[in-house]
Amino acid sequence: MGMTITEKILAKSAKRGKVEPGENVWLDVDVLMTHDVCGPPTIAIWKREFGEDAKIWDKSKLVIFPDHYIFTKNPHANRNVDILRQFAKDYDIQNYYDVGTERYKGVCHVALAEEGYNIPGTVLFGTDSHTCTSGAFGMFSTGVGNTDAAFILGTGKIWEKIPQSLKFTFRGEMPHYITAKDLILRILGDITTDGATYCAMEFDGSTISSLSMDERMTLTNMAIEAGGMNGIIEADKITEDYLHERIDKEYEIFSSDTDADYKAKYDYETSKLEPFVAKPHSPDNLDTVRNVQGTKLTKCYIGSCTGGKLSDFIAAAKIISGNKVKVPTFIVPASTAVNKQLNEETISGISIKEIFENAGCVVAESSCAACLGGPMDTIGRAVDGEVIISTTNRNFPGRMGSKKAAVYLASPLTVGASAVTGVITDPRDFL
Amino acid sequence: MEKIIKGTVFVLGDNIDTDQIIPAEHLVYSLSDPEESKKYGHFALSGVPLSKAGLPEGGIPFIESVAKENYLSKFTVVVAGSNFGCGSSREHAPFALQVAGVKAVIAESYARIFYRNCVDGGFLIPYETPVKLNGKIKTGDEIEIDLNNDALENLTTGENYSLKPLGDILPIIEAGNIFEYAKKTGMLV
């Protein structure tokens, strides 16, 4: 019996020739990532357990991105960033990207890719559930809590159960009116929010091979919404081209054996898919945009690690260009690099940022912002019984800041079309 | 560790995500400061829509809000449906339940990170039930969990149920948390 890509990477990390699903193994961690919400409690546990003279297992492998609660007056949130800043200073952490400096990057999962920390064949843990995003680079990545992160910080190791794998194959050309967001919403509708619990979600097929890294990251990002331990896509030329612009390191590319064992396989003919939404209040509450079109909105939101990458804004701008938005529309670039690209990339000679500004959108600074509600003064936060369509990842009750709000999740094309009309709108009406 | 857990039950539905267990706006407080961390108990389960809190009737707040600073719940065992703790990786979620006095959760299934956090952080015991219990046990019922026999007795109704054995995670629970377990097994000196 062969092995899946996930099993091969975990076997290497566990220094084993072979691993099997269900086995518990100790892994060597290549990168530990943390941020302002979970970094301070992780540091506190690490000091509690290893003492005041605690040593970091390998400083070069620790990466810290303040990104969650950044542009707020909340004193407790600001104190968390102060704790990270002091920690980075005390321990001389080179990979710390401080707020208010030119080093500030924004949302960790997008910044990990941009800064060259995502390397095929490696193992990355982070104190954030969307750490599974990095799997788009043919690597193993997953989220953990503060205690596990503190254990890694002191030892470089963590126990993990080898997951069973699920395979999702998409074949054929991607229609121009859908994006990777529609693919993952469809999967969630099919397998539900616990359909991949403790499993690896592997994506392949000719459609996936044609996707940009931005789009691949949208797929792996939302593996956690199905309960997945990790999402993974084999590295190929598109991956390597992205990497060669950023890093000069050796790496190993892994791929699944043809006789590897899968818990289940799902096949999709991509041309038959259409624009989807996840209706309130769960990411698996699937429907077609056509079935809910006309639903009156109070706000549109384009941002986050899921839907705040350059490709997401280009998609939305294609529809918004030359129009005015009918409801307040928030544009929150995931990273400062994406923000910069909004000024540089153009459609018909007009920058993406100008297209949004001319349409009346609010363009905010890079951070996680209202995707997870955040402090009361967070830009775009849901209030009362708002009806919102968003490119973000979760719509459980209260996720964007108000338990009374109804949040629809959709692709940037669908959110762009809906911003222009003020009601949920199928992007095919514009394309 | 306690081998017998007795308590009053708070019943919830399926897919209780971490934003419902502890809404994100509260994640700014210290978890290590003994006084400040009581905030987590005060806001535990405050994200659950009131109509779905304390089933079957609902409308029962987990924390009595009469006293503004109250952080202890009269409910010390949570019984829920499937996929409990889905969503974010925040360890603040099992921590908040622990601060509020919860000793164990009994659910049909758990999201992976929440489950790990309960065990590796030593916050509470995440028991799985092979049968749906959130339709059988009511909020306010008194129950007893016997860890030696993976058994649950509803003291209010006299009904008995078997729970799934804790399996691989039992040694970590018995040790206290992942650090103590690693020391016991020689992983950590």
- The CATH number of residue B26's host domain is 3.20.19.10
**Mean pLDDT per 10-residue run, chain A (431 residues)?**
97 97 96 98 98 96 98 98 98 98 98 98 98 98 98 97 98 98 98 98 98 98 98 98 96 98 98 98 98 98 98 98 98 98 97 98 98 96 98 97 97 98 98 95
The Cα of A128 is separated from the nearest Cα of chain B by a number of Å equal to 5
Q: Which of B15, B32, B89 sits opposite A144 (nearest CB)?
A: B89
- Name which of A403, A404, A407, A409 to mutate to probe chain B: the one with the most chain B Cβ atoms within 10 A of its Cβ: A403
What domains are defined for chain A?
A: 5-268 (3.30.499.10), 278-429 (3.30.499.10)
The boundaries of the domain holding residue B74 are: 4-184
The pLDDT score that the predictor gives to residue A341 is 98
Q: Calculate the alpha carbon distances from A430 to A176, A183, A307, A420 in Å.
A: 11, 20, 20, 10
What sign does the dihedral A387-A390-A393-A399 (CA atoms) show? negative
Which residues of chain A have a CB within 8 Å of the CB of B90? Answer: 37-38, 145
The pLDDT score that the predictor gives to residue B189 is 79
Chain B contact for A292 (CB, 8 A cutoff): no
| Chain B residue nearest residue A22, CA to CA | B168
Chain B contact for A25 (CB, 8 A cutoff): no
Q: Calculate the alpha carbon distances from A291 to A249, A294, A304, A315, A409 in Å.
A: 48, 9, 26, 22, 14
Whether residue B51 is contained in a domain is answered as: yes
| Overall pTM surpassing 0.90 (yes/no) | yes
pLDDT of B65 higher than 80 = no
Whether residue B109 is contained in a domain is answered as: yes
Q: Do A69 and B28 touch (CB under 8 A)?
A: yes
The pLDDT score that the predictor gives to residue A408 is 98
Chain B contact for A77 (CB, 8 A cutoff): yes
Q: Name the more confident of B68 and A113.
A: A113
| Chain B residue nearest residue A283, CA to CA | B87
Whether residue B143 is contained in a domain is answered as: yes
Q: Do B120 and A26 touch (CB under 8 A)?
A: no
Which residue type does A25 have? V
The pLDDT score that the predictor gives to residue A154 is 98
The pLDDT score that the predictor gives to residue B2 is 82
Whether residue B108 is contained in a domain is answered as: yes
Q: CA-based diameter of chain A, in Å?
A: 62
The pLDDT score that the predictor gives to residue A1 is 87
Chain B contact for A70 (CB, 8 A cutoff): no
Question: pLDDT confidence of B68, banded at 50, 70, 90?
Answer: confident
CA angle A193, B105, B31 (to 5 degrees): 90
Does the ipTM exceed 0.95? yes
Report whether A93 contacts A66 (CB < 8 A). no
Q: Do B91 and A38 touch (CB under 8 A)?
A: yes
| Chain A residue nearest residue B17, CA to CA | A396
The domain tally of chain B equals 1
Whether residue B189 is contained in a domain is answered as: no
Report whether A105 contacts A115 (CB < 8 A). yes
pLDDT of B66 higher than 80 = no
The pLDDT score that the predictor gives to residue A301 is 98
Q: Do A372 and B48 touch (CB under 8 A)?
A: no
Whether residue B107 is contained in a domain is answered as: yes
Calculate the CA A226 to chain-centre distance.
Answer: 14
Which residues of chain A have a CB within 8 Å of the CB of B29? Answer: 76
Whether residue B57 is contained in a domain is answered as: yes
Structure tokens at A381: 């936060």
- How many contacts, defined by CB atoms under 8 Å, are there between A and B? 134
Q: Do B25 and A38 touch (CB under 8 A)?
A: no
